Amino acid sequence: MTKLYTLALCMLAGYFLRKFGKLDARSVKTLNVFVVYVSFPAMVIHHITATLLESGLHPDLLLPISMPWLLVVLAYAGFSLAGLVFGWSNRVVGALVLTAGFANTSLVGFPLLEALLGPESLKTAIIISQIGSFLALSTMGLVMAAGFSNKEDQLENEGGMLKRLFSFPPFLALLFSVAIYLLGIDFPESLDKVMLDLASSLVPVALVAVGAQVRFDAKSMQAYKLPLAVGLGFKLLLVPFLFIILFVIEIEATGKEIEVTVLESAMAPMITGAIVAERFDLDSELAYLLVCLGIPLSLFTVPGWFFAIDAFFN
């Protein structure tokens, strides 16, 4: 559980550094640039390349891998509908999709699953995180982010969206990883270690930036109370309920992999998704609020789903 303490301390550090004038808007922007241009691409290259080259995929993992992809489709449909009903801008809808549409399957998910189900659960969780959440964000998520950003700017052409996408470093890193796999190139171990070292900076740097951009004042919370309630209710309560219905009741899938999958779907909104939302000029304040409120709330809701699933399976 020490990783959860790290999450909390990094967010608090960012919050108080801004509060006491040690981090201003320009400094936070620099942190986000570092994440987008260094940490995030390095993480893509390390994890996606390693997963494609080393991890064999078997049929039992198809449902776990499908969960993050189905989740973002549900989020896109649900939040787009909510946007029409409540009159939200595309910046708000896009921020909801990029955060509550992706589960924090690794940074929050790994330590919680290890505590609830033991270390064996991490084998399935890693596949869900890399081939599911991370790959979905690096492809479908980036396309959606570019699309929502273009709509807000009234750039109704595919050229503008493609330009944003193909100039985004994590997407280029993904293309590089896929090319390494398709060409059968042996990725040097020394270079992979460099990528891992750079990738390890993503969590602390991103969370300090997240904490520095959150405003827990009454005015900010009041302004976003409806999208916050809808986003967190969707991510923490509705999503795991829907996957229980789909995977357990309808498909009648059983086993530890399915239990891990449902719990991963219940995790807090994705931190990296909030960074992407900010980079594509979506509503970053809402995105960071969803992350900062969602993580502590998930420490209560995920164990609740664990006991509910345990009772159902037994």
Residue 143 forms part of a structural domain: yes
Q: How many domains are contained in the chain?
A: 1
- Count of Cβ atoms closer than 10 Å to residue 238 Cβ: 14
The predicted pLDDT at position 93 comes to 97
Interatomic CA distance for residues 75 and 68, integer angstroms: 10
Interatomic CA distance for residues 260 and 60, integer angstroms: 12
- Check pLDDT > 60 for residue 258: yes
| Mean pLDDT lowest among 44-58, 166-180, 260-274 | 44-58
Q: List pLDDT tens digits, range 208-241.
A: 887 887 777 778 788 899 999 999 999 999 999 9
Residue 119 forms part of a structural domain: yes
Mean pLDDT of 291-307: 90
The predicted pLDDT at position 106 comes to 78
Residue 58 forms part of a structural domain: yes
Quickly state the pLDDT bin for 57 (edges 50, 70, 90). low
The predicted pLDDT at position 160 comes to 59
| Mean pLDDT lowest among 11-15, 96-100, 149-153, 224-228 | 149-153
Residue 20 forms part of a structural domain: no
Domain limits for position 277: 27-206+216-306
Q: Which of 117, 110, 137, 129 is nearest to 55 (CA)?
A: 129
Mean pLDDT of 67-81: 96
DSSP of the chain: -HHHHHHHHHHHHHHHHHHTTSS-HHHHHHHHHHIIIIIHHHHHHHHHHHHHHH----GGGHHHHHHHHHHHHHHHHHHHHHHHHHT--HHHHHHHHHHHTSB-TTTTHHHHHHHHH-TTHHHHHHHIIIIIIIHHIIIIIHHHHHHHHHHHTT--SHHHHHHHHHT-HHHHHHHHHHHHHHHT----HHHHHHHHHHHTTHHHHHHHHHHHH---SHHHHHHTHHHHHHHHHIIIIIHHHHHIIIIIIIS---SHHHHHHHHHHTSPBPHHHHHHHHHTTS-HHHHHHHHHHHHHHHHHHHHHHHHHHHHHH-
Task: For residue 114, list its beta bridge partners.
Answer: none
Residue 21 forms part of a structural domain: no
Mean pLDDT of 268-296: 90
The predicted pLDDT at position 151 comes to 62
For the domain that residue 238 is a member of, what is the CATH number? 1.20.1530
Interatomic CA distance for residues 146 and 263, integer angstroms: 29
The predicted pLDDT at position 150 comes to 72
Residue 141 forms part of a structural domain: yes
The predicted pLDDT at position 239 comes to 97
Mean pLDDT of 10-26: 88
Residue 52 forms part of a structural domain: yes
The predicted pLDDT at position 127 comes to 79
Residue 282 forms part of a structural domain: yes
The predicted pLDDT at position 184 comes to 80
Interatomic CA distance for residues 7 and 259, integer angstroms: 24
